[in-house]
Chains A and B, each alone.
Chain A
Amino acid sequence: MPSERPLAPSTLSVKDLPWQIVWSREACTLCGRCTAVCPVHAIELAVFRKRLLEPPADFGTVTAGATRSFYGIRQRTDPAYACVGCAMCNLVCPNNALRPVRTDEADKLRFHVDRGGQPRRRGGRRNVPGTVLDRIKFIRISMLTDPALDAGRHEFELRTLLGRVLPPEAALRHEREHGWVPPVREIYPLVIGGMSFGALSPNMWEGLQLGVAYLNEELGMPVRISTGEGGCPPRLLRSRFLQYVILQIASGYFGWDEILHAIPKMKVDPCAIEIKYGQGAKPGDGGLLMGHKVNRLIAAIRGVPPGVSLPSPPTHQTQYSIEESVAKMIQSMSMAWGFRVPVYPKISGTSTALAVLNNLTRNPYAAGLAIDGEDGGTGAAYNVSMNHMGHPIASNIRDAYLTLVRLGMQNELPLFAGGGVGKTGNLAANAAALIMLGASGVQVGKYLMQAAAGCLGSESDRCNICNIGLCPKGITSQDPRLYRRLDVDDVAQRVVDCFVSFDTELKKIVAPLGRSTSLPIGMSDALGVDDPRIAERLKIAHVV
């Protein structure tokens, strides 16, 4: 930038930016890779003036020196081109000549990201590192008090139930009186949460699905994956792989006509139907798939014209109250598959979760409740919704479970917890903590983007540009120039690796509890935390 440029309120220096490119003139080869790869054009080749001026050794010959120029990489300071810290430049640099470095103080860019009155929108998680789940430890190590098990040696059947589990006598009575009992699926307790076809690139989506199919068919792990709201490719609907899929329906109803048309041709029933009412990462905020991501393919799957932006409103238009809306949706979706498929709602973590839960306990068609906490990820949301709205999952799931306990229904209505599971990489520990707090299973999304596809996003606000279709790893882009960086098989392999290693870690946690064939759901005497307030709130042991 010319130093003579006029000063405007949003005139920023490199120092004002959250990510600063540190570039070494010494190491740079001027190969052009970094500027070619930068998703947001934050860097460019520039000409720098360099004055060569030497102090006079002899005042008889004072010279003005010479003005020279050199080429180098310059970081742009226009807020529209601010570096997002993805570090793709560093990835492609053959000489490690440049990298983004996080500013050492609160950046100034944050005050200027609302040009045109448009508040900041982004993807990722709320920008708060850490999670209370990481503080929970497993304190019940049953070396001698229970038959201790060996995670590496013993057989484990770590399965959970998705569906309404009636008490035996009620089940018999139901069967006798109604000729029907609620469908129940025995599934792996780590579920891949809803990420839509459209939000994710085709290669990412197919990679996840392929990995899930492999886990089921080659490794015998009954892993399930939610479609997210964006429809489902017709071929998948008509394949045997549908049984591994949880079809999500949400307020946008994208692709549901295709799903209905496919029902008569389905070889198998889907695992379940998830009714999305809210997303933990952005409670009260709807979805928006920008028009430039709605290409011909996405349009075909979603059943809309190409090139238009697709809002998923934060609310369903035809639903007006808990009683009315939940019952109505569960009925409709159950009917679609002849009451053979479990149907459950997914809500964002909220102080009103218990009201929903209470309602579900009285509805025999409700197959469970998924609660998505504030640490979840999203592809696109308003920053304010992400950073400042939502409810932590730990206390929400705990309250819900203890409510079920009070009703004596803790084994009847499974709770699924999501939102920040594995946020800091501790997937199994976080999942096990939630399970012992009362979840029957956990949902995970963002973790898999990181682990299975190398997502660069972080809670230090790195990258997080999922919403603009420029994902440098090709995870959330519909541009073949970007998503073809991602190989379907590689993603699938990573999904498999993640689940298999998660399985081992989960066994390491539950084996000392003497559990091998049933998950320690709600086994909160195994949990401890070093903070008395957390302990009191979650009703677990305070250990120091």
Chain B
Amino acid sequence: MSDIPQPGSEAFHRISGRLQGERISSRLLEEAIQRAVAEGHRRLHVEAFGQHGIGGRLRSADGTPVLVHVSGHPGQRLGGMGFPGTRIEVDGPASDDVGWLNAGAEIIVCGNAGNGVANAMAQGRIYIGGNLGARAMTMTKHNPRFEPPELWVLGSVGDYFGEFMAGGIAVVCGHEAQRPDNVLGHRPLVGMVGGKVFFRGPHGGYSTADARPAPIDDPDWRWLEEGLARFLRAVGRSELLRRLAVREDWQLLVARRPSEKKTLSVRGIREFHRECWDAELGAGGLIGDLSSADRGRIPVITTGELRRFVPVWENRVYAAPCEASCPTGIPVQRRWQLIREGRIDEAVDLALAYTPFPAAVCGYLCPHLCMQSCTRGAFGLAPVDTTKLGQASLRARPPELPPLAGGRVAVVGGGPAGISVAWQLRRRGIEAVLYELQGRLGGKFTRVIPESRIPREVIETELERVRRILPQVALQQPLGREEFLRLREEFDAVVVAVGARKPRSLPFPGIERAVPALAFLEEAKDGRAAVGRRVVVIGAGNVGCDTATEAFRLGAREVTLLDVQRPAAFGKERRAAEAAGARFRWPVRIREISASGLRLEGGEEIPADTVIVAVGDLPELGFLPESVAVDRGYIRVDENFRTSDPRIYAIGDAVRPGLLTEAIGAGRKAAEAIAAAFSGRPPETERRPMIDRQRVTAEYFDPRIVEFADVNQCGSQCLSCGACRDCGTCVAVCPRGAIRRKGLEGDRYAYEVEDALCIGCGFCAGACPCGVWSLRENDPMA
């Protein structure tokens, strides 16, 4: 080594950091060093006094070796931005950031160095003969065009060593370490992405997310062994080589590759759930002791018991609106179904089970509550035309009658109500005798209703059907109380169906000049009535309208209907009166009737040749015993049409003025109540709740069909509310193929849902034309 010039000798160009005893600035020292190198000096001896960055940036040497020997106290960033060919030697310790951004210099510090050694170093070597402060070897790089940078440390490194290290090799010998128990310091290698760290001695952990241990293979060891010798020589501690070059004392840490970072094994939630959670709480977790119900994940779309909703085939559970609204209770829709099935005779005959007058009432006289309530109407379609079916019922065959099975009932009054109750009693095997007060069966049918409304032969045909079945007694004189009491004794029950025939009176002078409407209509029908040219009808209800129509028929030129309120007339009666030319006036208050006409309140006179009063009628009830309570002129009954005398029933206009169909329906209900009372059972109520029309789907039908050619078309256009029409739409629509038609005994059938397939979407309910399918909430689950 004697041929190597020593610092201080003449071979070294000496640069002092002091001038005349004063420290010079880092700028001036830098200029002096750069100038010396530019002038060709290749051995410099710098006497440092804390100047910054000594020995860096010696570009002008152009790669030729430059030796910078530093004595004294180098400042921060010794050799910062060092260049290849530069070698910097420091006898003692150095400050922070030795070799900062080193790009190729070899820097030797024989003592300790401060924080940040080798920060951002990319090439070159740094040899430290002592210990390091914090954050050494951080942000180091390895540019593939060059050899990796190296940091050699004889002792230990400080905290946060190797943060964000992206390349290079650090060697920590751990010899006489400042921290013998932890040569790598606190939290080393956080964010390390490249490079290697060889170390010798204990450590206190490192970022396992970023670095991993690796075996030291033979090339590694050869490199380390050779490097060690060079390092120890550089820092003047070659005597340690034998002690340090013990392969098994060394460990190696390398950066994890990105793929290795992902496979870090930490305990997952599921393992934690099993191994910690359930282990502490017990099987089933938090509430395993309170509930054994399965809480495992299910799909959003579920079948079977996990469905929120289930479809139900509710065939005939609800009544169609037509049936529900018919006071007589005729299953109108069932009849259309029979027609659809080609069973027209059955459809026709079925009516006689409910009414003795299917043709007269359904075909002509009824305002057809069935049609008014028809679901089709609610959806803007023409209601199914019941009159066609009604008129066809003229040829209905009476049902087979059961033998008389005891019990006799007298029915007083042979009008629609009386005939209905007798008809229904006979159908139940109870003998019913009709007592007709007017000497002629049929009541309003035969006496009052104008022939313009219904052909005489229709009434006669239906009455004939009745006469064949029911015994009648024609009373020749008005019924007295004694005779009535005799009937009450003679029979097991009496039904009062005498109608309302006593005109209501009006409290103004001259009323006696007016003709009661019913009397007028009776006379008109018998051909006995005559009217003047100008007719005034007091009371603009439907009877008033019939009266007006008849008055025109009998030759009146002007007919005026007066009322104190908006006319109550509706339907066919009103239309007929209006068509004939009747005028309606309201509100008017009449002061008196004179020979020339009427005088109104306020003085106006309405000339009239005939005045007819049509303000309603009251029943004639003089024959009733005291035991039958009467309320404001009408007989009081309970919901079964039983009066306050348990043996006596009352129906029809004697109870409450109403429609023919209401009187007929009352007869049917009373018959059932009587039959039930005879056999000591509660009366059967056959009424089902009416279906919600919104369940029915009208959109399958063509709104442009406004008239029906025949009963067959009526049947096909009936929506079949609440009753399956066996169309199979549900089977076709079900997206899961979960619905099947199942044939039952005879021609019966049912549609069934396969729970394991059904998802509860309700498509069946949405598509069902009849509203038979509904979606109900599934039973609650525990």
Partner-B contacts on A (CB < 8 A) = 2-5, 30-37, 41, 44-49, 64, 67, 69, 71, 74, 88, 91-92, 152-153, 155, 202-203, 205-206, 209-211, 213-214, 217-218, 233-236, 239-241, 295-297, 300-301, 479-489, 492-493, 496
Contacts and interface: CB of A to CB of B under 8 A. Distances in A.
18 contacts: A32-B761, A34-B761, A36-B761, A45-B766, A67-B702, A74-B766, A92-B301, A153-B164, A202-B295, A203-B295, A214-B269, A235-B286, A235-B288, A241-B277, A481-B302, A483-B295, A485-B299, A492-B269
A367 to B, nearest CB: 26
B510 interface: no
B285 A206 contact: yes
Contacts of A37: 300-301
Contact of A202 (B286, B298, B760): B286
B760 A36 contact: yes
A36 B379 contact: no
B761 A481 contact: no
B781 A35 contact: no
A153 B190 contact: yes
Given A202-B295, A239-B280, A36 B378 contact: no
A492 B277 CA distance: 12
Nearest to A480: B781
A74 B282 CA distance: 49
B301 A218 contact: no
Interface in B250-305: 266-267, 269-270, 272-273, 276-277, 280-282, 285-291, 293-302
Contact of B286 (A236, A296, A489): A236
Given A47-B699, A92-B300, A153-B164, 8 more contacts: A30-B735, A35-B761, A37-B300, A46-B697, A202-B286, A235-B282, A240-B280, A481-B298
Contact of B273 (A239, A482, A492): A492
A88 B300 CA distance: 9
B782 A295 contact: yes
A487 B296 CA distance: 7
A91 B300 contact: yes
A75 to B, nearest CB: 12
B762 interface: yes
B700 interface: yes
Interface of B: 160, 163-164, 187, 190-191, 266-267, 269-270, 272-273, 276-277, 280-282, 285-291, 293-302, 306-309, 378-380, 697-700, 702-704, 733-736, 759-763, 765-767, 769, 778, 780-782
Nearest to A210: B277
A206 B287 contact: yes
B269 A489 contact: yes
A213 B272 CA distance: 9
Contacts of A480: 293-295, 306, 781-782
Contacts of A487: 296-297
A44 B164 contact: no
Given A36-B301, A91-B300, A206-B285, A47 B697 contact: yes
Contact of B704 (A30, A32, A67): A67
Contacts of B704: 64, 67
Given A47-B767, A481-B302, A488 B295 contact: yes
Contacts of B287: 202, 206, 233, 235, 297, 301
A35 B769 CA distance: 18
Nearest to A49: B699
A258 to B, nearest CB: 11
Contact of A236 (B281, B698, B703, B762): B281
B759 A32 contact: yes
Contacts of A44: 762, 765-766
Contacts of B290: 233-234, 297, 300-301
Given A37-B301, A202-B286, A300-B290, A155 B378 contact: no
Nearest to A299: B290
Contacts of B163: 153
A32 B763 contact: yes
Contacts of B296: 484, 487
B295 A213 contact: no
A150 to B, nearest CB: 9
Nearest to A235: B281
Contacts of A74: 766
B289 A235 contact: yes
A383 B6 CA distance: 91
Given A155-B187, A297-B291, A488-B285, A3 B380 contact: yes
Contacts of A217: 272, 276
A26 B238 CA distance: 86
Contact of A153 (B191, B760, B766, B769): B191
B189 to A, nearest CB: 11
Contact of A481 (B272, B282, B698, B778): B778
A485 B291 CA distance: 18
A113 B37 CA distance: 90
A237 B309 CA distance: 37
B733 A45 contact: yes
A408 B366 CA distance: 93
A493 B761 CA distance: 32
Contacts of B760: 36
A52 to B, nearest CB: 12
Contacts of A206: 285-287
Given A210-B277, A484-B295, A493-B269, A69 B699 contact: yes
A210 B190 contact: no
A44 B273 CA distance: 41
Contacts of A155: 187
Nearest to B301: A33
B379 A4 contact: yes
A480 B35 CA distance: 86
A218 B272 contact: yes
Contacts of A210: 269, 272-273, 277, 285
A430 B67 CA distance: 58
A202 to B, nearest CB: 6
A488 B309 CA distance: 25
A45 B762 contact: yes
Contacts of B762: 32, 35-36, 41, 44-45
Nearest to A39: B308
A484 B307 contact: no
Most buried by A among B267, B269, B293, B778: B269
Most buried by A among B280, B286, B287, B379: B286
Contacts of A492: 269, 273
The 4 tightest CB contacts between A and B, nearest first, are A32-B761, A45-B766, A32-B735, A36-B761
A206 B277 CA distance: 10
Nearest to B764: A45
B531 to A, nearest CB: 43
Contacts of B700: 47, 69
Contacts of A31: 735
A468 to B, nearest CB: 13
Nearest to A74: B766
Nearest to A155: B187
A217 B306 CA distance: 36
B379 A2 contact: yes
B176 to A, nearest CB: 28
Nearest to B781: A480
A205 B286 contact: yes
Most buried by B among A45, A155, A236: A45
Contacts of B763: 30, 32, 35, 45
Contacts of B269: 210-211, 214, 489, 492-493, 496
A481 B735 contact: no
A241 B698 CA distance: 61
Contacts of B297: 484-487
A33 B761 contact: yes
A132 to B, nearest CB: 36
A213 B277 contact: yes
A397 B294 CA distance: 44
Nearest to A1: B694
A205 B294 CA distance: 16
